[in-house]
Chain A
Amino acid sequence: MSIRIAVAQCAPALGAVKRNLDMHMKWIARAKTAGARLVVFPELSLTGYYLKDLAADVACAADDPQLLPIAEASRELDISAGFVERSADAKLHIAQGHWSGGKLVHIHRKVYLPTYGIFDDGRYFGPGDRFDTYRWAGGTTGVAICEDLWHVSTPYLYAAAGATIVLAPSASPGRGVAEGGDLGTAESCRLMDRFYASYLTVYVVYVNRVGHEDGIAFWGGSEIVAPDGTVAARAPEFDEDLLIGEIDPELVARERARNPLLRDEREDIVLRNIAGRLGLPFDRRD
């Protein structure tokens, strides 16, 4: 039985949480009308991305009352949305929550904070320290927020832990306009999505935003790539779009039967290799 999901390729306003909440409600309603069981929003969808000092102003705890409308709306369908989380010890994190049945059921804190080029995440945020999978109606899932996905180990760890879906909420600035190719960033992202989907036999749900922040354009182009490497659905570049696609567990099973790379994966060798290099003890369990 396949599960319908929706991707909200939207343009959040920078630092205007209330306005963004209203915007979320509209997309959630549209996703519900389209029969989706889950709607995924891009990175920092409730706050905007290039926050700078606004990060502290818009941060809230995961159980903050201002997120209640999202929790309430998740009684109708699951919602994955981004916000700035203030942890119990007052650190700021780029976070993606998954709300289901009226409750927050999972939260991922962005681990890899790009602090180079046009990015300055590390100045304003603290890193997450784990890649945990969780289960919802669509299957076992891992979240890779933007830069997280660029690190090969992230989707690898998720797939190894049993994930069949990788949600990749992003705020990817479009750049690279050389002749003879696609937008440079689009080319890289599509290569990544297809590669991970095919070789880890998972669904990659790439969720990018659109709009401008301080002159930087987010290019959209969200896509759902199936474990056989086909692009199941793709949103246009630069324009808002509600992208609808299906997650089919049968297809995951068929692809893994045909192409059992994950079954044959030797995590023990990976672990021994890394443990040895870092001088950590490693006992192989047989």
Chain B
Amino acid sequence: MTSGLARTGVIRPDPKDPSPLRIDEVLVRKMLVLFIRDEIAKARLRRAVVGVSGGVDSAVTVALATEALGPANVLGLFTPYRTSSGESHDHALDLSKKFGFALEEVPITEQVDAYFAGVKEKVDKVRVGNKMARERKSIEYDRSWPDGIVLGTSNKTELLLGYGTQFGDMACGINPVGDLYKTQLRELALSIGIPERIVRKPPTAELWEGQTDEGELGFTYAEADLVLYHMVDRRLRPAELVEHGFDAQLVTRIRELVRRNHYKRVMPLIAKLSLRTIGHDFLYPRDWEAD
């Protein structure tokens, strides 16, 4: 790391300039490894459980966990549904071999199909997708007992857009990658040795065949990340972004997704009745008296 004022120039919002998203990967890697190690120790746990889908987010998470805790203390879970691709399976295996953590395969087809077999009405594919995400998470939590923590793999872009299932893929004990936009996470992925074929493939939740994140969202991560960066990190108003040349429809749509899905990012509301209420005015840190 260099000291002193190495950065020069003003950061301007410009739809054609993705450079403000660049990160110091060495520093970020160090901070995230320490975060995983420290917060797991504070919880008096020693293992990490990561749902490894074969995608880049869980690849980065499991690689960092392996570095922080040692491969013997990391369990990767590959939980395919019958529509999951063979490529995802190969990629999960590649990661397990490269980083040395144990990978267990737990298919979820039977239980998901059995549940919906008993449902009379026509089921929307989003419902099936949500059920799959929650099924997977319940398995991760089960496998974390008694001394493990479930690591979250939702990145900042997904969390802000609300592009995830509440109490499904969004659920976790701690999340090391939740403050990295997708673009930044890919950059980090390459620097910590995640194979290019995993980093470069089109992101998908694989909840139904042919689904891709960018196809479903209607914009690319590169576009969304830059808008979100200026809107959230740099606090620019949507109107200011449009003045600087960002597409008005895109900005409005992203801003609306962030607003509408905020409920997914906060704890459930508790009705205030007493003199002191959890979440309202009973405010203790989570690391209360932790080592």
Binding site for B on A (CB under 8 A): 13-16, 19, 50-54, 174, 177-183, 186-187, 190-191, 211-215, 217, 237-238
Contact = CB atoms under 8 A, between A and B. Distances in A.
A164 B174 CA distance: 45
Contacts of B290: 13-14
B23 A177 contact: yes
B230 to A, nearest CB: 14
Contacts of A13: 289-291
Given A13-B290, A178-B24, A190-B3, A54 B39 contact: no
A180 B35 contact: no
13 contacts: A13-B289, A13-B291, A14-B288, A15-B288, A52-B284, A54-B284, A177-B28, A181-B2, A181-B24, A183-B24, A186-B3, A212-B38, A212-B287
A214 B35 CA distance: 10
Nearest to B30: A238
B42 interface: yes
B22 interface: yes
Interface size class of B (residues with CB under 8 A): 20 to 34
Contact of A212 (B23, B27, B39): B39
B27 A183 contact: yes
Interface in B17-48: 20, 22-24, 27-28, 30-31, 34-35, 38-39, 42
A213 B4 CA distance: 27
Contact of A182 (B3, B22, B38): B3
B7 to A, nearest CB: 5
Question: Which 8 A/B pairs are nearest by Cβ-Cβ distance?
Answer: A179-B22, A212-B38, A52-B283, A181-B6, A16-B289, A181-B7, A15-B289, A14-B287
Contact of A217 (B34, B287, B288): B34
Given A181-B24, A190-B3, A238-B31, A211 B38 contact: yes
B286 interface: yes
Interface of B: 1-7, 20, 22-24, 27-28, 30-31, 34-35, 38-39, 42, 174, 282-291
Contacts of A181: 2, 5-7, 24
Contacts of B285: 14-15, 50-52, 54, 213-214
Nearest to A213: B287
Contacts of A211: 38
Contacts of A177: 23-24, 27-28, 31
Contacts of B39: 212, 215
B288 A54 contact: yes
A191 B7 CA distance: 14
A191 B5 CA distance: 9
A177 B31 CA distance: 10
Nearest to B36: A212
Contacts of A215: 35, 39, 174
Nearest to A237: B1
Given A211-B38, A215-B39, A180 B6 contact: yes
Contacts of B7: 178, 180-181
A52 B287 CA distance: 11
Given A52-B283, A54-B284, A215-B35, 6 more contacts: A14-B290, A179-B23, A182-B3, A211-B38, A212-B34, A217-B38
Contact of B289 (A14, A53, A183, A186): A14
A235 B279 CA distance: 38
A46 B42 CA distance: 18
A50 B42 CA distance: 15
B5 A178 contact: no
A53 B31 contact: no
B284 to A, nearest CB: 5
A217 B29 CA distance: 13
A177 B34 CA distance: 15
